[in-house]
Amino acid sequence: MCFGTIETIPVEVFENITSYLSIGDEARLYATCRRLHIHGAPLLLGPFERNQRAMLWAISHDDPALLRRCTRAGAPLDVVVVFKTKKPDPGVNRRGEAGRPRVRSPKRLSTLALAARRHSPHVFEHLVARGVGFGLGGPTGVSLAALRRQLRRLMQKLVSPARLGTLRELIECGFVAEVATHAGRDAAWPLSRAIVAGASEDLVRRLVDAGADLHAVHEHRRFGSIAPLSAAILTSTPNMARLLVRLGASYEEPGVALPLRPPAERRPTRHPLFAAVQRLAQSQAHDTSAVEDCLAHGCSINRTEPRVWDRGFNWDWRPRQQYSTPLLEFLDAIPSMSGTTAQRHATLQNLAFLLSRGARTPPLAPDLPGAIVQTTTPSSLELLIDRWQVEALNDDHFFRVVTLIVDAGCMDGAMGRIMRRYCRGVRNRDPYFAPAWRGWRRLIDLFLARPGVDPSALLLHLLVDSGTKEMAAVERLLVAAVDYLLARGADINAPASPLGTSALHTLCTVYQHPTPDTMWWHRSPYQESVVRHRCDLLHLMMSRGADPLLRFRGRNAPMELIQYLKVADPSTRAWIKKVGRTLCEGMAAQRIARANRTEYVRDKETSFSA
């Protein structure tokens, strides 16, 4: 059909033809053919709903001519109404019919904000020239709360790599300053997100000159809560960070703490030093200038910031409030342990640099055997082994990283916990046992190579922590570790505990466990499986030479066991009787072995010595 002959068709016929077109096709038809405006205006711009939909189409497609015709037909210039149709709720209505009638809910949007969001410069210039604001107040106005939400989403759309040019234009025409009036400075000047999006130094300077806060923290989908200086360190060039410092940004602003994100987000707060060590780890290049700048401006190398460390079932105790340090952040951000030779060498150099500057994790309370370790930060070794698993200790590069940490003394009293945690699970079965034991043995040798480390103390930690921290069973790795430490000179009867008792005496004390909602998934120390594990462990110790009759502080193991019998509750008395029966069986087996001049060895078939 030729468009030139449409003007001879009656209006009724023309309306029937266009009634089958969608709003977009109809508006595109009117915008393309100028002669059709005469016939199309009554149909497209007559009803208010179609008028508003045409206006929305004009704003989205940057068509100021169609926008002017919509306003001449009665549409307000500062507000556009969008009619949405809600889906009916399932079920029946009062008349017993399925579902309910569809409800139309109009939503008012600011035309100025919508034009900026849709990147429609001609419509935007037309609205600014007509003096359009944000449409507050009046019968067709937008509520303040709704306007703030629209402006916040608008600025989030504008701060993207593809729209930084539009953001510059809006700054020059004063639009963003008006956004700051209605939505606040933080929403109007998202400096951190602009830097992450790749803003130039000139644009950053314009944002700061227009009123952006150099210390405002914004939320980013990838980085979490991040400040402008942290964003520059993490994603931009060193010149950007120096520019922010010249403009007034500080590494350590006194009296201002970065906000804590909800624990469900599991992202750390981005302090400039944390951003620097993360970039240092991810770059895998030996360039420590960003970290040195942070330290030169007064940042503490052992600063703590909130973070949720949730690695699954491996953590002994997971408090709601946890913390991270620059050293832990660096170790967690290492992308790979199998890069090129230059990358691996740079990782070792960067780690040595942090350790030489004094990077450590917060010291824990004394690691008492059997005590409940309620730490809010993992140790460096725990973090590495939890992430890369104990089999990674067979890799020479990973073992060099672990060696650097151990030589620097960053074990944080976690030797017993590390040794105990990886003696369980599928690693006790073939074919997983051999590689796990090789890595496990390298770690034990590394511990024993440190000056002043007593193998008897390591053995006591391993046995006591295994007996009091709910291991599933006495399995191959545990037996192999016990035999290996005994072969390296450990004494199973040594009074190596801080209380001056042996491991057997310590395990004969009733241990009260914490509440089930913080540990061990509703397991009780009096459950049958838990008591059976304690008894199997006592059998293993006595088969390796542990003497229950040795006295420490005037009491032997049976006396340690029954000293609370009179005041104990029924569950504790039952526990004492079961463990006491195990001691009697073990002592009887030891007596028979001595009489027959043989060796009492239990579970020898599961032992795997070096």
Residue 31 belongs to a domain: yes
**Phi, psi at 145, each rounded to 5°:** -65, -45
Residues 5 and 119 in one domain: yes
**What SS3 state is found at 111?**
helix
Q: What is the CATH number of the domain that holds 205?
A: 1.25.40
CB atoms near residue 111 (< 10 Å): 28
**Burial category of 596 from C-beta neighbours within 10 Å (exposed 0-12, middle 13-18, buried 19 and up):** exposed
Residue 78 belongs to a domain: yes
Residues 3 and 134 in one domain: yes
- In angstroms, what CA-CA distances link 345 with 34, 134, 337, 354? 70, 57, 11, 15
Residues 1 and 138 in one domain: yes
Residue 471 belongs to a domain: no
Residues 1 and 131 in one domain: yes
Domain edge (last residue) among 259, 285, 300: 259
Residues 170 and 252 in one domain: yes
Dmax of the chain from CA atoms? 123
Element (H, E) at 463: helix 455-468
What distance in Å separates the CA atoms of residue 406 and residue 447, rounded to the nearest whole number? 8
Element (H, E) at 417: helix 415-421
Residue 429 belongs to a domain: no
Residues 137 and 188 in one domain: no
Mean pLDDT for back-to-back runs of 10 residues, the chain (610 residues) = 51 65 66 54 63 80 82 81 59 58 66 76 79 55 69 74 78 69 62 83 84 74 76 85 88 55 52 90 88 90 79 46 82 86 92 92 52 58 83 91 86 61 74 89 89 85 71 79 92 84 81 43 63 86 89 84 76 82 87 76 45
Q: Which two tokens stand for residue 180?
A: 């700051």
Q: Which two tokens stand for residue 91?
A: 């079920």
Nearest to 428 by CA among 502, 464, 479: 479
pLDDT of residue 442: 92
Amino acid at 78: D
Cis before 431 (ω within 30):
yes
Residue 515 belongs to a domain: no
pLDDT of residue 476: 87
**What SS3 state is found at 98?**
strand
What distance in Å separates the CA atoms of residue 112 and residue 341, rounded to the nearest whole number? 55
Residues 168 and 122 in one domain: no
pLDDT of residue 83: 65
CB atoms near residue 316 (< 10 Å): 20
What total number of domains does the chain contain? 2
User: What's the number of CA atoms in the CB half-sphere (13 Å) around residue 568?
Assistant: 18
> By the 8 A CB rule, do 201 and 240 touch?
yes
Residues 16 and 109 in one domain: yes
Domain edge (last residue) among 224, 259, 294: 259
DSSP string covering 130-186: TT----BSSTTPBPHHHHHHHHHHHHHHHSSTTSHHHHHHHHHTTHHHHHHHHH-HH
Domain edge (last residue) among 201, 229, 259: 259
Q: Which two tokens stand for residue 71?
A: 């306003």
Residues 123 and 216 in one domain: no
pLDDT of residue 417: 67
**Burial category of 330 from C-beta neighbours within 10 Å (exposed 0-12, middle 13-18, buried 19 and up):** buried
**What SS3 state is found at 77?**
coil
Element (H, E) at 110: strand 104-110
Q: Domain range for residue 243?
A: 158-259
Residues 49 and 177 in one domain: no
Residues 163 and 132 in one domain: no
> By the 8 A CB rule, do 218 and 186 touch?
yes
Residue 65 belongs to a domain: yes
pLDDT of residue 140: 52
> By the 8 A CB rule, do 182 and 216 touch?
no
Residue 313 belongs to a domain: no
pTM over 0.85: no
pLDDT of residue 398: 93
Residue 605 belongs to a domain: no
> By the 8 A CB rule, do 370 and 511 touch?
yes
Query: Which residues contact residue 401 at a Cβ distance below 8 angstroms, ignoring those fewer than 6 apart?
Result: 337, 347, 348, 351, 384
Residues 187 and 251 in one domain: yes
